Structure 1
């Protein structure tokens, strides 16, 4: 089994110039809390509903503020042909619950969540154990240090 077997292939992205209000509307309409942020088809960051709420609105930014002002820069990712266990391990290390999925050409082809791994891998223990370790207190990095993937 590979990450591509459990990932969500149909996902939406948002341009870095879009507003927080536009992002919130898209999240509501698509029933998601996570959007890859793009600049000229390159994924340059991640935007979560928490970013909009905490970094944006609670910090006093108006809804018209560009998502680039409140997004998490950088991208945590896993390759589509990787084992779901490797994705779970990376989620633990980075303390994130979602990863962008890339093909071997570094093109963004999906998103994999902790829930996708837990349900899709047939190993709910993996998901529970990973969630427990993700939730532990420790410094987390949101930048992978790898090349910027194309969307």
Structure 2
């Protein structure tokens, strides 16, 4: 199975000048715990619900501050043709629950996001299910 078979295609992203409040509203409306952050249509960061809680609310930042000030600048990604088993291993190694998905290593266009939940929803083999369980243990 490939990433393109399970990923969420081209979810909305926010420009880095958007506010923290807009990021929180976008996550609420999309029922997701993160949103990609872009500059000139290139993904330059990720903001998660945890980033909002820890880097904004807990530090007393204004929700009208730009989201780029709390976003994680390190964008972890995979390619849509990558094998799910390889991506699961990378998620486990990096201790993350999701990757940005790019089309290929030449253009590197943003085409989607893949999460542990996306993969779990498509598990058909016991081995793959066990890999999802192993990767998710890092968060509980």
TM-score, normalised relative to structure 1: 0.85
Alignment deviations for residues 26-52 of structure 1 (CA, whole Å, 9 cap, x no partner)? 111111111110011111110001111
Query: Matched residue of 1:72: which SS?
Result: coil
Q: Which runs of 5+ in 2 are unaligned?
A: none
Q: CA RMSD in A?
A: 1.3
Distance 1:135 1:51 in 2: 15
Alignment deviations for residues 83-107 of structure 1 (CA, whole Å, 9 cap, x no partner)? 0011101101111000001111211
Distance 1:118 1:31 in 2: 17
> 1:74 Cα deviation (Å)?
1.8
Counterpart position of 1:100: 100
Counterpart position of 2:118: 116
Q: Which runs of 5+ in 1 are unaligned?
A: 137-151
Counterpart position of 1:45: 45
Q: Is the 8 A contact 2:10 2:110 kept in 1?
A: no
Correspondences of 1:1-151 after superposition (within 5 Å):
1-104=1-104, 105-122=107-124, 123-132=128-137, 134-135=138-139
Query: Matched residue of 1:44: which SS?
Result: strand
Query: Matched residue of 1:64: which SS?
Result: coil
Q: How many residues align?
A: 135
TM-score, normalised relative to structure 2: 0.91
